[in-house]
C-alpha cells in the first residue's frame, strides 16, 4: 500500500493528465520531498514500464529502494557501461577500448536483479568469470524484460547508445532525474588530448610508423595549446590524414584484441587520440584549447535532446533546481512543456530550512580579485568553521579561486575538491565521525551536486558557504552556445543563462546541507553582490543578516 504525501496526491493527478495529453512535464520539487516515489507512482499510472534516467550510477540505489518498498511486484533492472560491467576491465577504460568480439564471455545469461544495483553487479561479475558469460549484455537482456530500468544520461541522449538499447521508448514513461544537468549533456561527447595522452600512446603502439605519427603530433600540439583555465576557440589545430588515422586505428584494434586475450583490459590512450579525430567529422564540433589540452566539443545541445521532442514519448523532467521553461526552449525542446513547482502548487514548504548571512566586504568580481581578498575569504571560512556544529560545505566559482583561498587555510581539517577527487573517499572520511571538516568544492563540480553526507537521513552539514557568486566563465565556448541559444529563442539569452547557471549552483550547494524536511543549515553568502533584492528573492534570503569581518 502506497501512502503518498499531501503534495504527491495533489500534484499527481494533474501530472498524469498532462502527460496523457502529450505534454512534457517539468517538475520542480526540493530534495527530500519524495520526487523518486512520486515519479514511480505517476509513471506506473501512465505506462506499464518506466525508464528512470539519472546523471550518475550513484542515483540508481534510491530508485531501487523505493521500487522494492512500494512496487515489489515490478521487475527492476539497470544498465551500466562496459567499463563498469566488464569483469576483465579496470573502471577507467573507455567503452571503445573493450572489444567484445574477441571475448570468450560474449554470451548472455538470463538474470533477475534481486539485490541493490552495485551489490548485484559485484556478485554478477564474479559469477560471470566462473560461468563464462557477459554481465553487460546480460543486464541489457534483463532490462528488455523489466518493468523499471535505471540507466544514465548517455543511453538516452547519445543516439548510437540509445539505438543499441533495443527498447521501444514509446512503451515507457521516461523520467529524467536531476534534469537541470540537461544543459551539460553535450559534455558527454567531449574529446580531449594533450601531450601526456600522446606520450602514453607512444608507449602503447608497436610499429615505427605509428610512433612517428604520434611524435609529430606531440610536437605540433605545443604550437597550439595554452595554459588557460577557460576555453579558447582554435580555427587551426594539428591535423592527421585519413591514412595516418587508419594506421593508428589498426594498432588500436590489435591492442584491443591483445588486452581481451590477456583478460586484463586497461585504458588505451591511443583510443583517446583516435576518438578525438573521428569526432571532428561532426559539423556540430568545435576545437578549443584549455589547460594545455585540445578539446573537441559539440556546441548545440539540440542534437542530443531532440529525442524528447518525439510526440509519442511520455516524459517528465524533474529536479530540485530546474531552469525556467524558456531555458529548455533555448536548448532545443520544441514540444509543449508545463512547469509545475510542487511548493507553489501546495502553498507549502516541502524541504528543510535555513537562515542567511550576507557579507558586505568580499567579492569574487574580476576587478577586485587579489591576494588581500583571498585572505578575507580564508578568514571568513575559519570563523565559520570554528563556530559550526557539524561539517562546513563551501563552494567556489572556479578551481583557481578555490586554490587561492584554501592555500591560506592550514590549521583545520580540510577536504578539497580537485579534478581527480573521489566522492566515495570524501564520504568515507566524513562518515568516520572522528573530525569536523571544511569541505571545499567548486560550483558545478562533482561534490557540489553529487555528494550526500547524511546519518540516518539527517544531514551532517550545519553550514553552507557560497564563496563568491558562481557565474560561469564567459569564454569562447560559452559565447558560441549563447549565440545558438539566442538564435533559437529569438532574443539575447546571456543574462538568462548567467543568472540561471549561478542560481542553480547556489541552490545545489544549499541542497547539500538540506536532505530532508527537518534539516536546518546556516547559509553564508560571501559576496557583497548578494545584497541585492533580485538575489535575495531568488535565494529566499529577505531576512538575511549583513556581516563584515
Instruction: Give the residue-averaged pLDDT of 96-118.
Output: 92
Task: For the beta carbon of residue 483, count every other beta carbon within 10 angstroms.
Answer: 14
Does residue 1 form part of some domain? Answer: no
Please check the confidence at residue 450 and state whether its pLDDT lies above 70: no
Same domain for 330 and 406, yes or no, is: no
- Domain coverage including residue 394: 353-547
Angle at 353 between CA 12 and CA 464, to 5 degrees: 120
Same domain for 86 and 43, yes or no, is: yes
Give the integer Cα–Cα distance in Å for 312 and 324.
Answer: 24
Are 277 and 243 in contact by the 8 Å Cβ rule? The answer is no
Does residue 79 form part of some domain? Answer: yes
Strands (E), 309-434: 314-319, 337-341, 353-359, 391-396, 414-416
Instruction: Encode pLDDT of 228-254 as tens digits.
Output: 889 999 999 999 999 999 999 999 999
Same domain for 207 and 291, yes or no, is: yes
Instruction: Encode pLDDT of 72-85 as tens digits.
Output: 999 999 999 999 99
Number of compact structural domains in the chain: 3
Are 265 and 93 in contact by the 8 Å Cβ rule? The answer is yes
Same domain for 163 and 283, yes or no, is: no
Same domain for 478 and 408, yes or no, is: yes
Instruction: Encode pLDDT of 282-322 as tens digits.
Output: 999 999 999 999 999 999 999 999 999 999 999 999 999 99
CA-based diameter of the chain, in Å?
70
Instruction: Encode pLDDT of 420-435 as tens digits.
Output: 666 777 787 887 777 8
- Rg of the Cα trace of the chain? 24
CATH of the domain at 532: 3.40.50.300
Given pLDDT bands bounded at 50, 70 and 90, which one contains residue 113? very high
Same domain for 164 and 20, yes or no, is: yes
Give pTM, 2 decimals: 0.92
Same domain for 180 and 270, yes or no, is: no
CATH of the domain at 205: 1.10.275.30
Same domain for 127 and 168, yes or no, is: yes
Query: Which pLDDT score, from 0 to 100, does residue 453 have?
Result: 79
Does residue 498 form part of some domain? Answer: yes
Same domain for 63 and 175, yes or no, is: yes
Percent of the chain scoring above 70 in pLDDT: 99
Does residue 256 form part of some domain? Answer: yes
Q: Which of 263, 280, 298 is the last residue of a domain?
A: 298
Q: Which of 281, 298, 315 is the last residue of a domain?
A: 298
Q: Which of 298, 314, 336 is the last residue of a domain?
A: 298
Same domain for 317 and 417, yes or no, is: no
Same domain for 205 and 305, yes or no, is: no
- Owner of C-alpha cell 580564508: 378
Does residue 158 form part of some domain? Answer: yes
Same domain for 284 and 397, yes or no, is: no
Does residue 166 form part of some domain? Answer: yes
Instruction: Encode pLDDT of 518-533 as tens digits.
Output: 899 999 999 999 999 9
Amino acid at each position: 500500500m502506497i501512502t503518498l504525501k499531501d503534495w504527491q496526491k495533489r500534484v499527481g493527478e494533474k501530472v498524469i493528465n498532462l502527460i496523457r495529453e502529450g505534454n512534457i512535464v517539468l517538475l520542480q520539487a526540493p530534495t527530500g520531498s519524495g520526487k523518486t516515489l512520486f515519479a514511480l507512482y505517476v509513471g506506473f499510472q501512465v505506462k506499464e514500464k518506466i525508464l528512470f534516467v539519472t546523471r550518475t550510477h550513484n542515483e540508481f540505489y534510491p530508485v531501487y529502494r523505493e521500487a522494492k518498498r512500494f512496487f515489489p511486484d515490478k521487475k527492476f533492472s539497470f544498465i551500466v557501461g562496459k567499463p563498469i560491467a566488464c569483469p576483465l576491465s579496470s573502471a577507467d577504460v573507455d567503452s571503445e577500448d573493450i572489444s567484445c568480439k574477441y571475448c570468450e564471455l560474449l554470451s548472455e545469461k538470463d538474470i533477475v536483479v534481486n539485490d541493490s544495483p552495485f551489490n548485484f553487479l559485484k556478485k554478477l561479475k564474479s559469477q560471470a568469470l566462473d560461468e563464462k558469460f557477459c554481465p553487460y549484455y546480460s543486464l541489457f537482456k534483463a532490462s528488455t524484460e523489466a518493468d523499471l530500468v535505471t540507466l544514465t544520461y548517455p543511453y538516452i541522449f547519445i543516439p548510437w547508445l540509445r539505438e543499441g538499447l533495443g527498447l521501444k521508448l514509446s512503451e515507457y514513461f521516461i523520467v529524467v532525474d536531476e534534469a537541470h544537468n540537461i544543459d551539460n549533456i553535450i559534455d558527454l561527447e567531449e574529446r580531449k588530448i594533450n601531450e601526456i595522452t600522446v606520450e602514453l600512446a607512444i608507449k602503447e603502439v608497436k610499429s615505427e610508423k605509428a610512433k612517428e605519427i604520434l611524435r609529430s603530433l606531440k610536437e605540433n600540439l605545443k604550437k597550439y595549446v595554452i595554459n588557460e583555465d577557460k576555453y579558447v576557440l582554435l580555427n587551426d589545430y594539428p591535423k592527421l590524414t585519413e591514412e595516418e588515422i587508419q594506421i593508428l586505428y589498426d594498432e588500436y584494434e590489435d591492442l584491443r584484441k591483445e588486452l581481451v586475450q590477456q583478460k586484463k583490459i586497461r585504458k588505451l590512450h591511443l583510443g583517446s587520440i583516435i576518438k578525438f579525430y573521428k569526432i571532428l567529422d561532426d559539423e556540430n564540433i568545435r576545437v578549443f584549447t584549455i589547460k594545455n589540452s585540445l578539446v573537441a566539443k559539440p556546441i548545440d545541445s539540440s542534437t542530443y535532446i531532440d529525442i524528447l521532442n518525439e510526440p509519442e514519448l511520455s516524459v517528465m523532467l524533474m529536479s530540485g533546481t530546474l531552469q525556467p521553461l524558456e531555458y529548455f526552449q533555448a536548448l532545443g525542446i520544441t514540444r509543449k512543456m508545463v512547469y509545475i513547482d510542487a511548493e507553489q502548487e501546495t502553498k507549502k514548504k516541502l524541504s528543510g530550512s535555513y537562515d542567511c548571512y550576507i557579507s558586505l566586504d568580499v567579492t569574487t568580481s574580476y576587478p577586485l580579485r587579489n591576494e588581500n581578498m583571498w585572505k578575507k575569504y580564508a578568514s571568513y571560512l575559519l570563523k565559520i568553521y570554528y563556530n559550526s556544529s557539524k561539517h562546513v560545505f563551501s563552494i567556489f566559482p572556479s578551481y583557481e579561486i578555490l586554490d587561492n583561498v584554501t592555500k591560506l587555510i592550514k590549521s583545520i581539517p580540510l577536504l578539497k575538491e580537485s579534478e581527480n577527487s573521489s566522492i566515495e573517499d570524501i564520504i568515507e572520511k566524513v562518515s568516520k565521525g572522528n573530525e569536523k571538516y571544511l569541505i571545499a568544492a567548486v560550483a558545478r563540480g562533482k561534490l557540489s551536486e553529487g555528494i550526500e553526507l547524511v546519518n540516518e537521513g539527517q544531514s551532517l552539514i550545519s553550514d553552507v558557504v557560497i564563496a563568491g557568486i558562481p557565474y560561469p566563465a564567459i569564454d569562447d565556448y560559452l559565447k558560441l552556445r549563447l549565440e545558438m541559444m539566442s538564435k533559437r529563442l529569438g532574443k539575447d539569452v546571456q543574462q538568462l543563462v548567467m543568472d540561471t547557471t549561478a542560481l542553480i549552483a547556489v541552490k545545489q550547494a544549499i541542497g547539500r546541507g538540506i536532505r530532508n524536511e527537518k534539516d536546518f543549515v546556516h547559509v553564508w553568502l560571501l559576496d557583497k553582490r548578494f545584497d541585492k533584492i533580485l538575489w535575495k528573492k531568488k535565494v529566499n534570503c529577505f531576512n538575511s543578516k549583513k556581516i563584515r569581518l
